[in-house]
Amino acid sequence: MDRIECQWCKAQNSPERTSCSTCGAPLDKKNLVSDSGWTEAPRLRDMTEFRFSNSTCQIEGEIVPVAELALAQGDSVFFEHHVMLWKEPGVPLSAMNTGGGARRMFGGMPHILSIAHGPGRIALSKDATGEVVVLPIHPSHEIDVREHAFLAGTHSLNYSFVRIKGLANVLHGGSGMYMDRFVTGGEQGLLLLHGYGNVFQKTLQQGEKILVEPGGFLYKDSSVQMNTVPQKFKTGMLGSHTMYLAEMTGPGRVGVQSMYVHHGSE
């Protein structure tokens, strides 16, 4: 029997489906790829539903989208507590201590993440315009996400964070002091991110480089090296101006968002 491969997450789907059962991407639309190889993250149709483990996730709304999760017994998701929009009263909540409390607090990051356990329903919203990016994470895969961009992760993901090294990266990188790192164990995990504006992804070849406005960086495979590089410009006989860009070096995927906050890039 023929199967349809999702162009976004590569999952196999039965032919009657119009959206991917793993990531919700429309299957009846071609991937939109720019001339230089940036793929537009699939715009999920309103009310699109997809599965993870024994649970489902439905994306509602197109301007400030909501992810509504129907959690099965034994399944759970974790998230920053302020993204909770509503939940059924019977859904238990617990807390995940992320470690590095004082340092994370100093970096403006929550040191406790909330965990919602099935059975029951819970809805999450980032409370900002943009789009939900669904990233199924295959076993033993690692992905780094700019701080505050993650909406929810499923129980099979291990959460940690990496401190961005180098003074220039911290002061001028524009991605904050930490990046969230998500790693899967034996079971595939699902990561929901919120991208401001539109989101684009490019797969860099080994050694391939791209310069990205630091505020536009959204996620990358952990195999992609990120360094902040100064761009010096002469502005006259004596004057000069320095601008900082994030240099991404492959191999791996890089995701950017088209609406961003400028930190130290000016």
Where on the chain is the footprint of other proteins (CB under 8 A)? 32-36, 38, 40, 43, 129-131, 196-198, 200, 209-213, 216, 231, 233-236, 241, 243, 245, 247, 256, 258-260, 262, 265-266
Which residue lies nearer to other proteins by CB, 130 or 153? 130
How does DSSP assign 212-234, residue by residue?
Answer: E-GGGEEEEETTSEEEEEEEEEE
CA 170/CA 87 separation, integer angstroms: 37
Which residue lies nearer to other proteins by CB, 106 or 233? 233
- The least distance separating other proteins from the CB of residue 12, rounded to whole angstroms, comes to 26
- The least distance separating other proteins from the CB of residue 148, rounded to whole angstroms, comes to 17
Which residue lies nearer to other proteins by CB, 130 or 189? 130
User: 186: Cβ–Cβ under 8 A, 6 or more apart, which residues?
Assistant: 139, 156
- The least distance separating other proteins from the CB of residue 103, rounded to whole angstroms, comes to 30
- The least distance separating other proteins from the CB of residue 207, rounded to whole angstroms, comes to 11
Nearest residue to 27 via CA among 3, 42, 6:
6
Would you say 84 and 151 are in contact if contact means Cβ atoms under 8 Å apart? no
- The size of the chain, in residues, is 266
Which residue lies nearer to other proteins by CB, 81 or 209? 209
Amino acid at 27: L
